[in-house]
């Protein structure tokens, strides 16, 4: 019997490549989301430090220009935080979209892999049947030769 050849092997190869591409895209989206979260945490830290600095400055005599500068800086940070919040929402949606694409690519690849396994099992079953048939023929030929010899 000839060697097993899965006819859809090129398609399976393409699906594996597509899955790897989706994995990379998902990893990139996750990395962007993580960086955005880190930026949000960093801004929150800076805002807390700025507020604490203002509180300690309020206990002693401070120039109003310094207080106004602190307030403008805090307003700037709040606007930046708001923009990052919107960016985070968009990135979270994009990450979820990439995750779903990856799941779909994995399903497509898995279905072809299962089909391949089934075809291999069918091939092995047929090969075993042909082998049994071959040995049965050899046995019947030996029986016939032994019968003529008697």
Domain residue ranges of the chain, discontinuous segments joined by +: 9-110
E-state strands within the chain = none
Residue 44 confidence (pLDDT) above 90 = yes
Q: Output the pLDDT for position 150.
A: 59
Sign of the dihedral through C-alpha 20, 25, 29, 35? positive
Residue 58: predicted pLDDT: 66
- How is domain 9-110 classified at the architecture level of CATH? Orthogonal Bundle (1.10)
User: pLDDT tens digits, residue range 121-147?
Assistant: 999 999 999 999 988 888 888 888 887
Q: Which of 102, 75, 88, 92 is nearest to 19 (CA)?
A: 102
Write the pLDDT tens digit of every residue in 46-90. Answer: 999 988 888 776 667 777 888 888 899 999 999 999 999 999 999
């Amino acid at each position: 019997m000839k060697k097993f050849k899965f006819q859809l092997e090129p398609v399976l190869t393409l699906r594996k490549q597509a899955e790897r591409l989706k994995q990379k895209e998902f990893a990139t989206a996750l990395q962007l989301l993580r960086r955005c979260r880190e930026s949000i945490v960093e801004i929150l830290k800076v805002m807390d430090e700025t507020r604490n600095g203002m509180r300690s400055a309020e206990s002693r005599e401070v120039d109003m220009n310094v207080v106004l500068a602190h307030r403008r800086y805090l307003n700037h940070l709040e606007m930046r935080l708001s923009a990052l919040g919107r960016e985070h929402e968009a990135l979270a949606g994009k990450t979820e979209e990439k995750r779903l694409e990856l799941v779909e690519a994995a399903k497509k690849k898995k279905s072809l892999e299962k089909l391949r396994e089934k075809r291999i099992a069918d091939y092995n079953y047929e090969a075993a049947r042909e082998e049994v048939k071959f040995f049965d023929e050899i046995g019947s030929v030996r029986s016939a030769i032994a019968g003529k010899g008697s």
